[in-house]
């Protein structure tokens, strides 16, 4: 369900259940902002990144009443206390709407104070698909990309300018991007635009970072060439992606960041070294034990891609829980997770593993689970890899006291 923008918590992007106001005047869902302050020990406002003067939290009763009214079917279109006493303005007719959008574009292009015009444009774009189509057709993507590029990349960019960029990004986030959207894709893919969005991903508010990662994800789906951005941004870009992956408050942002990483590492193999240098293996291994099914599958795909290079395999083996975390997911999550886990173990086993590694595979239950796979009916590439591992290292495993005796049947 689509929630009105003002009803979303800027941290989780979900509908607020207990809205509260902090010292900067921004409203958040209580559980999210308390976690931000008291669990993560943050001293800034997530939306504005301003320092927090105090940790006083005030319930936003007005907003809570509006959310409840909306949930009960009243659907208030504005944040006025009473829709009956202050009726919202009806959506403009198509011809007026066209003129209004063009007028807002002109204002944005000519005034240094863009924020109010951008908010007005956002309220229009959120009305329906027809308005969004008009926005694109009238050159809206180019107008907003220009705002983002100029404001972010200029040397003396201030807080207000940064907020304008975040608002522009929020509008672009609402625009669908398909392979047929060639014009929009071309503009968004410009190096200066991608660089600006990467900066927002690193320094923006939690809301703006969500918009940026969503746009990166959409561009990845239309086969964007990541090589230029990776060469320009380097390890810092991967660090910002990994920070989003570990975000427990906004699960969508975390999921989108995983998708973007998979897309980058699949399409641009040279990027894998940079991801490893940014600490990808360490973070992914630590997230793996408590991950949901979907997140687990994506994490294992990433570990598998990183283990296709020697540095990735070394990083996994150097992590004390690397093999254990991967092995634990075999046969416990899904067929997809098991398939990826076996591929990871195969990459380790096929590259001359040390005796210590082979012993750890026995201790952590990897061998036992691979053996269980051999009892599955039918044939599969996963089963074949398990059998190959036994043929390669069965005799070595046989020397250890914890060697499973039924493995003898497969060693001839």
**Domains of the chain in sequence order:** 5-71 (3.30.40.10), 98-258 (1.25.10.10)
Q: Note the pLDDT of residue 95.
A: 57
Nearest-CA neighbor of 216 among 269, 251, 255?
Answer: 255
Q: What is the pLDDT of residue 387?
A: 87
The per-residue pLDDT for 199 is: 92
Q: What is the pLDDT of residue 248?
A: 78
Low-confidence ranges of the chain (pLDDT < 70): 1-2, 74-95, 155-158, 179-180, 377-379, 402-405, 407-412
Q: Rg for the chain (alpha carbons), in Å? A: 26
Predicted local distance difference test score (pLDDT) of residue 74? 53
Q: Strand, coil or helix: what is 119?
A: helix
Q: Exposed, middle or buried: residue 254 (CB in 10 Å: 0-12, 13-18, 19+)? A: buried
pLDDT (0 to 100) of residue 239: 95
- The HSE-up count of residue 75 (CA atoms within 13 Å, CB side) is 2
Question: The pTM is what?
Answer: 0.76
pLDDT at 90: 52
Residue 164 CB contacts under 8 Å (≥ 6 apart), including other chains: 114, 115, 118, 147, 151
Q: What pLDDT is attached to residue 408?
A: 67
Residue 397: what pLDDT?
Answer: 83
Q: Give the span between the Cα atoms of 375 and 161, in whole angstroms.
A: 62
Instruction: Give every CB contact of residue 106 below 8 A, 6+ residues apart in sequence.
Output: none
Crossing angle (nearest 10°) for helices 235-245 and 251-267: 140
Predicted confidence at residue 344, as pLDDT, reads 96
Query: What pLDDT does residue 81 have?
Result: 39
| pLDDT value of position 77 | 44
Count of other CB atoms within 10 angstroms of residue 51: 10
């Amino acid at each position: 369900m689509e929630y009105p923008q003002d009803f979303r918590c800027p941290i989780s992007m979900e509908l607020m259940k207990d809205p509260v106001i902090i010292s900067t005047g921004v409203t958040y869902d209580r559980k999210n902002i308390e976690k931000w302050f008291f669990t993560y020990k943050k001293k800034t406002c997530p939306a504005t990144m301003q320092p927090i003067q105090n940790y006083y939290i005030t319930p936003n009763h007005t907003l809570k009443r509006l959310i409840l009214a909306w949930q009960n079917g009243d659907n208030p279109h504005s944040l006025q206390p009473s829709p009956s006493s202050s009726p919202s303005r009806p959506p403009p007719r198509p011809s007026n709407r066209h003129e209004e959008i063009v007028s807002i574009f002109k204002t944005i292009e000519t005034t240094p104070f863009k924020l109010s015009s951008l908010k007005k444009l956002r309220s229009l774009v959120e009305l329906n698909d027809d308005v969004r189509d008009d926005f694109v057709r009238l050159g809206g993507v180019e107008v907003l990309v220009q705002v983002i590029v100029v404001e972010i990349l200029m040397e003396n960019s201030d807080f207000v300018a940064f907020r304008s960029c975040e608002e522009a990004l929020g509008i672009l986030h609402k625009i669908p991007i398909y392979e047929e959207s060639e014009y929009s894709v071309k503009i968004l893919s410009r190096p200066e635009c991608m660089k600006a969005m990467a900066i927002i991903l690193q320094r923006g508010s939690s809301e703006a970072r969500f918009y940026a990662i969503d746009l990166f994800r959409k561009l990845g789906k239309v086969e964007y060439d990541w090589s230029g951005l990776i060469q320009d941004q380097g390890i810092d870009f991967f660090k910002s992606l990994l920070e989003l992956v570990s975000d427990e408050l906004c699960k969508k942002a975390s999921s989108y960041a995983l998708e973007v990483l998979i897309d980058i590492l699949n399409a641009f193999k040279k990027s894998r070294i940079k991801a490893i240098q940014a600490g990808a293996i360490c973070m992914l291994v630590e997230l793996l034990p408590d991950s949901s099914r979907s997140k687990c599958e994506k994490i294992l795909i990433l570990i598998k891609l990183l283990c296709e290079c020697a540095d990735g395999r070394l990083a996994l083996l150097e992590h004390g829980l690397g093999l254990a975390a991967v092995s634990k997911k075999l046969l416990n999550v899904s067929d997809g997770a098991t398939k990826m886990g076996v591929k990871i173990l195969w990459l380790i086993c096929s590259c001359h593993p040390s005796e210590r590694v082979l012993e750890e595979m026995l201790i952590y239950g990897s061998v036992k689970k691979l053996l269980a796979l051999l009892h599955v009916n039918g044939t599969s590439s996963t089963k074949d890899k398990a059998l190959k591992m036994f043929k390669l290292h069965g005799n070595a495993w046989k020397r250890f006291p914890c060697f499973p005796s039924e493995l003898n049947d497969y060693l001839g």
